[in-house]
Structure 1
Amino acid sequence: MSAKIRIKAGPVEFEYEGETELGVADIKELFSHIETLFKVPVLAEGGDSGHSSHPPQSQVLDRPRPTGQTLHINSIASTLKAKSGGEVAVAAAAALQIYEGKESFTRAELLTTMKKATMAYKESMSGNLSTSLKTLVGSKFNQIGTDIYSLNQETYDQLVAQLA
């Protein structure tokens, strides 16, 4: 079986085509290595390519975003009818990625944002976050590093439409 993968992250581009099969663990490890390249100052700033220097998080700004004003996490959770821990986590991820423009978020950032959803958040959601993340990774979230996540493209697009 032939495998083909192409990844472009800012000034870093990687392309592979060959007979070796790539598993999910291999791809996650590859993303982890690419992520470390952004810590190299020349690459993080876009090198000498003439592009303005933006950190990787600014790339998400190219994605569609709801028009109008920025919503507070309470409004996002209410619009999405978030009640369970997983639903509040998705609302928090929307706040971080769609409205704050982050390309990815850490588990700590997610929990902090969930706690700001005072109308939906329950203390038990903190203790159940690991279980919620296991359910969300692969269905709505991508795990791109240890305790680093992002919304998958389909979920991102659905949330933009729901929050518009």
Structure 2
Amino acid sequence: MISAKIRIKVGSMELEYEGDPAFLTGGIEALLTTMGDLAGRIPNEPAQAAGIAIANSPPSELAGFHFSTNTIAAHLDAKTGPELVICAMAQLELVQGKSSSSRSEILAEMKSATTYFNTNIASNLSKSLSNLTKAKRINQVGAGSYSLSASEKKKVEVKVAEID
């Protein structure tokens, strides 16, 4: 069976479609018109076009990110333990689609960045998490559970989206 796959971004809206190519010949123009109209009216809010709710999809499906922590750290120019924490959390949230991550998940992801990880970074993880929380770059959502703050997530998303 022939399948078509497209990804469209208009303003703050993004739509990914994979399926029957007949949709592309019959409905694509109407969809683009609707998305353009909506983008003009509500450019800073996630939108729903033609009954398609994109807000329920995990971030990795919307953004299409498939990068390792090593790659993210390289492009974010990570030089310190706290910067590697941010890169690991970006991988967990933007690539794996997690809404929050445990300390052990963050550490495991940091260890996967073999180019940047060393034992000193691991021994200072508690301090890094505490300082990042105080700086409002990450949120502690529960005992030993963390997520990127909304502002940090936006910053990282922009940088990760620029990776070739």
Establish whether TM, by shorter chain, passes 0.5: yes
The answer to whether the 8 Å contact 2:138/2:148 transfers is yes
Match for residue 122 of structure 1? 118
Match for residue 156 of structure 1? 153
Q: Which amino acid aligns with 1:144?
A: V
Match for residue 84 of structure 1? 80
The answer to whether the 8 Å contact 2:59/2:95 transfers is no
Q: Which amino acid aligns with 1:157?
A: K
Match for residue 132 of structure 1? 128
Q: Secondary structure at the match of 1:97?
A: helix
Q: When the two structures are superposed, what TM-score results if normalisation uses the length of structure 2? A: 0.60
Of residues 110, 119, 126, the one that matches 2:106 is 110
Aligned counterparts, 1:52-91, within 5 A: 61=58, 66-67=63-64, 69-91=65-87
Gaps of 5+ in 1: 1-57
Structure 1: distance between partners of 2:114 and 2:57:
27
The answer to whether the 8 Å contact 1:74/1:120 transfers is yes
Q: Secondary structure at the match of 2:58?
A: helix
Bigger relative contact order, structure 1 or 2, given CA contacts below 8 A and separation 6+? 1
Question: How many matched pairs?
Answer: 106
Runs of 4+ more than 2 Å apart: 62-67
Structure 2: distance between partners of 1:135 and 1:121:
19
Gaps of 5+ in 2: 1-54
Of residues 94, 100, 113, the one that matches 1:98 is 94
Match for residue 144 of structure 1? 141
Deviation at 1:130, TM superposition (A): 0.7
Structure of higher CA gyration radius: 2
Deviation at 1:66, TM superposition (A): 3.8
Aligned Cα root-mean-square deviation (Å) = 2.2
Q: Which amino acid aligns with 1:73?
A: T
The answer to whether the 8 Å contact 1:66/1:163 transfers is no
